Structure 1
Amino acid sequence: MQLLKTIFLFEFRLLARQKFILLLIGFFFLTGIYSIYYGYHFTEKQLAAIDSLESGYQKKYKEIEAAFSADTTTAEGKILFNQAGIPSVIEYKNPLIAVCKPQLISILSIGQSDLQPYYDVITRRRNFMQGSNAEISNPEMLASGNFDLAYVIIFLLPILAIALSYNTWSKEKEQQTDKLLSLQGIYLRKIISYKLVFRFLLVGLMVWLLSIIGFISSATLIPFDLSAALFWLLSTSAYLFFWFAITFFILRLGKSSVHNALYLLGLWCALLILLPALCNTVVRLYYPIPLKTGAAVALRENSEAIWAMPHKLLIDTFYLNNPKYSPLREAADTSETSNKRFAAYYDLLGRRMTQAIENYNQYPAAQNEANLCLSWFNPAIKTQYLLNGIAGTGLNDYLSYQRQVNDFQKTWVDFMTGYVISDKKLLLSDLKDLPQFKLKFLKNKYPEIAVGILYLSGISFCIIFLSRKITVKI
């Protein structure tokens, strides 16, 4: 214990005298602060857009509500009063918005939330082209990723760990202080291990400090989640532990400082650039995603085909698919202006397009599953999945949101169809009880994240165990 205290004190004093190392640490810390600001600004902008949508909806809702008590002594008031409660008018003037709000600690790991739509307009004839409301982004930015704290931790902090540790052993040999320590009976391997522990704690404390700053910043925008914060700290610590285990392994080979630096930087390039690019290429080759133009063509073709169907066949299909409305069947259902004909049109179009969209969504889901499987062979990518999962910004979270939107759209269609085919208007009390979309977060994701953390820790301990088996003459 006395040796550990002595080495930590010596390393701290040595660090205080190395201005370049202090500048390097300061640079990485400021980089982390900027990444938190970047994530905060992005999330703030997204929340502002969502608030604008919700404010617009509430404003239109009050206008629709006021139409029930409009002044019928004026021509404009008569029109508003007559239109009050008509389902198609309510849908047209104020369609429902399904929103995927930023959750947990998403400012620290933006993930897929900048690429995927975070709101959808819900009507009986929904826009089946998902992603149409996504903003246009710079392709270079989409290729490189967002400069959030997850990016800094995964890509940049390993470089700091390498810069601090690559010559921990070789420097002693090059300065020939290893012989002096050996003559004094001091176990050099233990000293090297303690030096690495000091550097691990130094970088780890910086990561924890940046993360805590991120948690505080996130809490000003999104309700704080303690579980997410704890799993974030554990995941980042396990990832740093992995890199220091790799460094320990390279140091145990007994090479020069230059060789150590080259080996470590080579591994960094392989794990963070080459392997991800190769895996991405392989996944896209075996699980290609078709163009969304196919869904657009399917929407147009189905719309035209269904509208051109014989009226009686369309109505028969509707009652066959919705037997609960059979008691409302009338001879006038097949007329050109029949509300039931329009309801039948939207019902059949929705059923056909739901199947088309489910067929399309299986491709990104297959890609995601393949990438998840391959991530077990690359701790860096696995950590990215873990951080995105903790922040609720991964592809799984988006696919879950999309499934919930599709399910809610069916609920909305069923709700409005009952009024349309009955030729009834919504009452003011009905207007207050309109179905509302409530996003449910993914359940049981923390056990999977815990398994991922154990995986990172297990690999690190295995690397350390193998390192200790390497015999090097000191």
Structure 2
Amino acid sequence: MYALEINHFLRSKGAMGGLALLLLVGCLSLLIGRQFVAKQQQAQAEIARFQREHIERNVRYHQDEMGLLLYYLRFTLVNPNQPLNALSIGQRDVQNSIQSVTIRGLENQKYDTDLHNPMNLLMGNLDFSFVVIFLFPLLIIALTYNLLSEEKEEGTLRLVATQARSTLFFLLRKMSIWMLAVFTVLLLLLGIAVVALKLPLGNTTLAFVVVAGLYLFFWFALSTWVISSQRNSGLNAVALLSFWVLLTLVFPAALNAYLINRYPVPEALNTMIQQREGYHEKWDLPKAVTMDKFYTHYPEFKKYPLPDKTFSWLWYYAMQQMGDDESQQAALELKHKLQQREQATTVFAYFSPAIHTQLAFNRLAAADLQQQLQYWEATERFHESCGCILSPHFENTAVKTEKWDSIQVERFAVVVEINWSVMILPLVLITLLLGSLGLWGLKKI
């Protein structure tokens, strides 16, 4: 009987066509992810050459004044892509992975990002996480919505039930064939990804596979629960599609609207404006006022007194730093609001498998908001280190005496932490709940 069911499934043009289409779209998503990562890695590889040429060019043009040279020099911190970025792009397409900063005010530079086509941002990316979260459930719905109702509507349920151990056993056997087909496509795509994208066979890749598998199990459990109500095929299809729309479209949109209103984030532009206003107003204040605040912030620089002349680069960069200091409260508020949104999203995601799965994919790929906030903090530390290293050379230092070729592109150390219980427990619990309800309903047939 099992062989007959498999043979019947293989002869189903609709089922095989759906599997083939999903396999094709999955391969396309892997190609898109590969192209995205390749583009990012190429830019990150070329930035070292660009920075070297940039420093050499400016050193050649500004040999007479160290302060003016430091005004133009840019130093780069790279946020390297992780292998799983090809499977889940996350926020990597809208956030910079390369941050080149001067030692001037940071808040005026930190939120700079590349220009993007707004239509591309609106449509999003057809990456592999999109295929898993949105398209695989549609195929599961198409395969399972009439698992029971088809037999009842054709009047064959009693006949097949007499040939099987029980009606429940027959339905589970049929469901297992659908599951085998869907998971075969998933594992085939993941196998292609491991080979084509050179994914490391480590904990992050394993976690990605486990989360994807549990998410598909959830949809099979949901389908089992819906069909156990013994409605006709049309109602089953409408119910399952309604759940798909609710879980993948409506609830994420509603959550986003709630978070925007519950945790309004101040515009980064406001922080930049405060920084610039804080800097510009220092031109009209006595130098001693600025320098006193600067020396309070950096007591180690008190050994570099302010020269007795109209303009000093030490004073100029002190004004820039004071602009950052005076916009610090706005910057902290922006960061705090974003952290609140991230924490609230994580909590709400426990009750939404689609959101939870997307967050898990993005975190495993180091492409979520939390990772971007960590990169911002690393940029702040990087900017601070650049200023502290170069500040002593503001006055009376010959440009040619410095070892400019020793300045290299820095790389942010990305750390992906895997909390297995938090990652898989919500999916396991809701799958067990719906699966149990579905089996209990099917037992009563």
TM-score (norm 1): 0.87
Alpha-carbon distance in 1 for matches of 2:186, 2:164: 36
Choose from 381, 401, 410 the match for 1:437. 410
Conservation of the 8 A alpha-carbon contact between 1:98 and 1:405:
yes
> Per the alignment, in what secondary structure is the counterpart of residue 97 of structure 1?
strand
Which residues of 2 match residues 5-404 of structure 1 at below 5 A?
A: 6-7=1-2, 9-62=3-56, 82=64, 86=66, 88-90=68-70, 92=72, 94-126=73-105, 128-129=107-108, 130-139=110-119, 141-184=120-163, 186-219=165-198, 224=200, 226-329=202-305, 333-404=307-378
C-alpha displacement at 1:194, in angstroms? 2.0
The equivalent of 1:460 in structure 2 is 431
User: What letter matches 1:312 in structure 2?
Assistant: A
Assess, with a 3 A threshold, how the Cα gap between structure 1 residues 57 and 185 changes in structure 2: closer, same or farther: closer
Query: Which of 364, 376, 384 in structure 2 is aligned with 1:410?
Result: 384
Q: How many residues align?
A: 444
Q: In structure 2, what is the Cα distance between the partners aligned to 1:211 and 1:426?
A: 54
Paired residues of 1:400 and 1:442 also in contact (CA < 8 A): no
* d(CA) in 2 for partners of 1:338, 1:126: 17
Q: Compared with structure 1, are the counterparts of its residues 269 and 234 closer, same or farther at alpha carbon in structure 2 (3 Å cutoff)?
A: same
More relative contact order, 1 or 2 (CA 8 Å, 6+ apart): 2
1:80 shift after superposition: 6.6
Query: What is the deviation of 1:433?
Result: 4.5
CA offsets 1:7-45 (integer angstroms, 9 cap, x no match): 2x2232112212222112111111111111112222222
Displacement of 1:255 after TM fit?
1.6
Mapped to 1, the partners of 2:195 and 2:373 lie a distance apart of: 29
Secondary structure of residue in 1 paired with 2:117 = coil
Shift of 1:467: 2.2
1:266 positional shift:
1.0
Q: For 2:141 and 2:326, how far apart are their aligned partners in 1?
A: 55
- Match in the other structure for 1:75: none
Distance 1:434 1:42 in 2: 28
- Cα distance change on mapping 1:349 and 1:296 into 2, 3 Å: closer
How far does the alpha carbon of each residue in 1:204-251 deviate from its partner, in whole angstroms, 9 at most, with x for none?
1211211222233322xxx73622211111010000000000011112
* Native 8 Å contact 2:104 2:317 kept in 1: no
Alignment CA distance shift 1:188-1:40 (3 Å): same
Contact 2:94 2:113 in 1 (8 A): no
Note the C-alpha offset of 1:88.
Answer: 4.0
Quick one: which amino acid aligns to residue 441 of structure 2?
A: I
Among all aligned residue pairs of Structure 1 and Structure 2, give the percentage whose two residues are the same amino acid.
24
Secondary structure at the counterpart of residue 121 of structure 1: strand
- Cα distance in 1 for partners of 2:218, 2:245 equals 15
Q: Deviations over 1:118-164 (max 9, x none)?
A: 2222211145244423222224x434431111001100110001111
> Hey, what's the Cα distance between the residues in 2 that align with 1:442 and 1:214?
22
Q: Distance in 2 between matches of 1:44 and 1:157?
A: 26
CA RMSD after TM alignment: 2.4
Partner Cα distance (1:359, 1:175) in 2: 63
Tell me if structure 2 keeps the 8 A contact 1:87–1:425: no
Q: Deviations over 1:165-221 (max 9, x none)?
A: 1111222222332212343462110121122122112111211211222233322xx
What residue is the counterpart of 1:74 in the other structure? Answer: none
Query: TM (normalized to structure 2)?
Result: 0.92
Range that drifts further, 311-320 or 232-241: 311-320
Which segment is superposed worse, 234-243 or 349-358? 349-358
SS at match of 2:77: strand
Question: Separation in 2 of the partners of 1:350 and 1:291?
Answer: 16
Deviation (angstroms), 1:261: 1.1
The letter of the residue matching 2:348 is L
Q: What letter corresponds to residue 453 of structure 1 in structure 2?
A: I
Greater CA drift, 180-189 or 106-115: 180-189
User: Which residue in 2 is equivalent to 1:72?
Assistant: none
Unmatched 5+ residue regions in structure 1? 1-5, 68-78
